[in-house]
Amino acid sequence: MRGPGPIVFGFLLTAASLAAPGHPDVSAVPVLRQYLDHAGFNWKSKQVAHFHIFFEADSEAGRRIRELRRNLEKDRARVLMLIGEKDYEPTIYAFFLKSGEDMQELLGVNVDGRSRPVQHAVFSVVTPERLHLTHELCHEIVSNLWGAAEPWIEEGLATYADEGDNTYYDSWALLKANDLIPLERLVDPGWTSSMDSPDVTYTELGGFLKFLYDRYGMERVKAAWQGGSQSIPRVFGKPLDELEREWHASLLAQFPKPPIRHYRSAANGFRME
Ligand SMILES: [Zn+2]
């Protein structure tokens, strides 16, 4: 018996024949050639509602493809709901890889996840613990709908979209341990994710974005996304250091006792970009 969804989305193709009846031939999409033609990879392909999926034979992704298909659609819907947008038209090309080494070979960088919004391409290493693409889809969708943003808000929103309320527990733990980095360092157009430990900065920015969203709403987050860090006093009516104090006070008020969970379990992955 087939899984849920229209039967038309069930084609299984090989790299030699990436066109299915009624679907565009992805091998004709110029930006994908560099990945599809890469000598180190023999891609299998599947077309689903909003995605074209590529995965390797004999891979975790191949074995979990039904689950991954469902997750992709759920993750896409989660991002759209979070940012208050109704729809996102472009087909997204999702590449599932076996390892960071494969990512190195394909993209030249050893990471667990990467998105290239201009190409509508997302890349993710699939393991039993890594079966969602919310973080990368947030970059893909929000960068294309709202425009590219400064790294602090790109990573903060993507981390919050993926990890939700956990970013708050984890930020609280970092605050109590005195491990938070002053926001004036991160919330700056010149900051990049390679400058500090991502197990601190991604959690911290994710928790800060949750705070901005909860207290000030997504419309103002969108304005800061589009206006950059220099727009913060205008958008929120107060400077960054005042927002930072409000955020810390909110963390301490919500968790008067230590939360049960430790911040950033290894399963979340530390090297998302
Ligand atoms: Zn990212």
Distance from the CA of 140 to the center of ligand 1, in angstroms? 10
> By percentage, how much of the chain surpasses pLDDT 70?
85
34: CA distance to ligand 1 center in Å? 22
Ligand 1: distance of its center to the CA of 114 in Å? 7
Separation of CA 150 and ligand 1 centre (Å) = 11
Q: What is the pLDDT of residue 139?
A: 98
CB atoms within 10 A of CB 90: 12
Joined together, the tokens standing for residue 196 give: 């500090």
Task: Delineate the domains of the chain, giving CATH numbers in brackets.
Answer: 7-146 (3.30.2010.30), 151-268 (no CATH)
Distance 115 CA to ligand 1 centre (A): 8
Euclidean distance between CA atoms 239 and 90, whole angstroms:
37
Kindly state the tokens that stand for 155. Answer: 């990573």
Residues with CB under 5 A from ligand 1 (ion): 155, 158, 273
Residue 201 has pLDDT above 70, yes or no: yes
178 Cα to the center of ligand 1, angstroms: 24
Q: How confident is the model at residue 9 (pLDDT cuts 50, 70, 90)?
A: very low
CA–centroid distance, 157 to ligand 1, in Å, is 9
Residue 164's pLDDT is what? 95
What local confidence, expressed as pLDDT, does residue 207 receive?
98
Average pLDDT of the segment spanning 85-110: 97
CA-CA distances (angstroms) from residue 82 to 85, 93, 138, 158, 160?
Answer: 8, 21, 10, 11, 10
pLDDT in tens, 55-91: 998 999 999 999 999 999 999 999 999 999 999 999 9
What separation in Å is there between the alpha carbon of 248 and the centre of ligand 1? Answer: 23
Query: What is the CA(151)–ligand 1 centre distance, in A?
Result: 8
pLDDT in tens, 108-138: 999 999 999 999 999 999 999 999 999 999 9
20 C-alpha to center of ligand 1: Å?
32
Distance CA 137, CA 77 (A): 10
Task: Tell me the CA–centroid distance for residue 154 and ligand 1, in Å.
Answer: 7
Confidence check: pLDDT of 10 > 50: no
Non-local CB neighbours of 164 within 8 Å, separated by 6+ positions: 210
**Arithmetic mean of pLDDT, 218-226:** 98
Residue type, 201: T
